[in-house]
Every structure is written in structure tokens, then in C-alpha cells.
Amino acid sequence: MRVLITGANGQLGGALQRTAPGWADISAIDVDDCDLTDVPMLTARLVVEAPDLILNAAAYTAVDKAESDEDTARAINAGAVAAMVAAMAGTGGKVVHVSTDYVFDGTARAPYAPDAQRNPQSAYGRTKAEGEDCLRAADLLVRTAWVYEAGGANFVRTMIRLMKERDELRVVADQTGAPTWATGLARTLWALVEKGASGTFHHCDDGVATWHDFAVAIAEEAHALGLIPRIPVIHPITTAEYPTPARRPAFSLLDCSATRALIGDAPVPWRENLRLMLKEEAKLG
């Protein structure tokens, strides 16, 4: 099967390539290969690639910047998705699209089910929701949250850098979710494809954390592996104490039970996957 991976140089795009099954004839593109804001260019590229399946790991993910650059975010997060869906509709192919917890408003008290009502509170969330709406019933939508990967630009690596520089940090403790290792997400995406899944599914690592919890775990695990010289003091703060242009969901746990049931695997605790990622990070030097 001819598979096109977009966002090839990103965290998930790289993980998808590394975990690809033997049956997948992979082609991978990134912004240097094709400008996703240019629909004619993208459409022409899709004709050349002629994929049976598109795994869309590309996205405009600069959450705060999107507040002042919503048109560009929309072009990538929705316009490009519409173009991919149109191309696949013409050839009988399928789109697998990755979305985000930001399509929800964060006011829930229980994990969001795949069919939960969306109410995005940011430009990023709005444009990702619009991208979801471009999909057909035959396509596959997978939402995730708090994604990180060795070598990528993410919270884990930012924390490690700051922990090397500072004795004390302040991290938000009133936003709740579940960290997600991109490698695990990639494996789930491939498993869902192999099951012929369509519709909406969720994937995050198992468990619950605040950003402060996550930072404390990063410090403990990174210090044990020698990635940082000491464990800094990590002070919990409120969202109000760390204002950002975009509003973050206060609660973004996703109900992944349907995903686990379909592909038949057990959920992996987020701290276990964090440890695996940090071991990879240590190898990178």
C-alpha cells in the first residue's frame, strides 16, 4: 500500500516512519517539499504521489502564535485537510488525520469521549475543529494531547534545558491531562489502520497529570539517567500566574477506551513511556 506521511520532520511524522509496518510503501513530505498553505501545489503533489493512504501528521501547532495568525493556521489545519480529502475522494483512498484536545473547552469532569461536544476556546482549537469537519465517514480521525518525542521541540526537552540552567522552576498545576509519547501514538495509528478503522478515536498514554506533575516526573527520571545534574525545586503555580495569548483547556483527559478495545492492547502509563523517551534522549547526547 502506498502511504504518504505529511509533517515528515515533526515529532509524530518521524515516529510514524520509524514504526511503519512492512506492508507500507512510505513516502514522506514536509514543508520543504510542499507548502500546505498552497492548495494547488498540494493537490499537484498528491497526484504525483498517488497514495492509497494519507497519514496527516502535519499541523500548525504554534498555539499562541495562532491567535494573531489564524488565517495561516486555518490554511494548514483545515484547508490542507480539505484538499487531501478531496484528492482521496477522487481515487478511493483514505485520510488519517490527527487532531487535538484543544477542540474541547476543558470544562468537563470526566474524560472526553470521541463523540463529546466540541467547543474550542482558541484559534488553534478552532482551526483544528474545522479540519476535523473536512473528513468523510470513511476517513479516520485520532485526537491526542501533550505529545513529546526524543529530539523534538516539546515540554520534556524544554524542561530538561531549564533544569540544567536553574535551581528553581515555576510550572502550571491547574491544567490536567495525560502526556503522550509520539512513538506510542504512531503505533496506535498504524494499528488502527490495520484494523480498517474509520470515524473518531482518541489516544493518550494512561494516567492523569498536571503540567507540574509532569515536570516533577521529568526531573526525577532525567536525574536518574544523568541528563540533569540535580533535581530543581519546582513550584506549582496557577494558569492566571502564567498568562498566555491562547487559552489552554483546564481539563483535557481523553477517553481512549474504544481505541484500546479495538486494537486489543493495554494502556501504557505515561510515566513508563516518559522513561523510555528519556532513555532515547540520553542516547542522542
Q: What value does the mean pLDDT of the chain take?
A: 97
Cell of 46: 498528491
Quick one: average pLDDT of 268-285? 95
Quick one: average pLDDT of 23-35? 95
Residue 98 has pLDDT above 80, yes or no: yes
Per-residue pLDDT tens digits for 163-176: 999 999 999 999 99
Residue 154: predicted pLDDT: 97
Indicate if the alpha-carbon torsion angle 133, 80, 183, 188 is positive or negative. positive
Residue 172: predicted pLDDT: 98
The candidate with the shortest Cα–Cα distance to 273, out of 188, 212, 167, is: 188
Residue 232: predicted pLDDT: 97
Cell of 21: 509496518
Quick one: average pLDDT of 231-254? 97
Residue 183: predicted pLDDT: 98
Confidence of residue 239 (pLDDT cuts 50, 70, 90): very high
Quick one: average pLDDT of 95-103? 98
Residue 48: predicted pLDDT: 94
The dihedral region occupied by 31, where left means phi > 0, alpha psi between -120 and 50, and beta the remainder, is: alpha
Per-residue pLDDT tens digits for 30-68: 999 999 999 999 999 999 999 999 999 999 999 999 999
Cell of 218: 521529568
**In whole angstroms, what is the distance from residue 11 CA to residue 88 CA?**
25
Indicate the burial class of 166 (C-beta count within 10 angstroms; 0-12, 13-18, 19 or more).
exposed
The strand pair at 176-177 and 209-210 is best described as antiparallel
The residues assigned a catalytic role are 124
Residues 6+ apart with CB under 8 A from 95: 53, 54, 56, 81, 84, 85, 88, 135, 136, 139, 140
Per the confidence metrics, is the pTM higher than 0.85? yes
Per-residue pLDDT tens digits for 106-155: 999 999 999 999 999 999 999 999 999 999 999 999 999 999 999 999 99
What CATH code would you report for 2-152+178-205+253-268? 3.40.50.720
Residue 21 has pLDDT above 80, yes or no: yes
Confidence of residue 237 (pLDDT cuts 50, 70, 90): very high
DSSP per-residue letters across 181-220: EHHHHHHHHHHHHHTT--EEEE---BS-EEHHHHHHHHHH
The dihedral region occupied by 13, where left means phi > 0, alpha psi between -120 and 50, and beta the remainder, is: alpha
CA-to-CA separations, 99 to 21, 129, 227, in angstroms, rounded = 22, 8, 31
Residue 285: predicted pLDDT: 76
Residue 36: predicted pLDDT: 96
Residue 78 has pLDDT above 90, yes or no: yes
**In whole angstroms, what is the distance from residue 58 CA to residue 60 CA?**
7
**In whole angstroms, what is the distance from residue 77 CA to residue 61 CA?**
9
Instruction: Say how many C-beta atoms besides its own lie within 10 A of residue 169's C-beta.
Output: 18
**What is the percent of the chain with per-residue pLDDT over 90, rounded to a whole number?**
99
**In whole angstroms, what is the distance from residue 26 CA to residue 21 CA?**
10
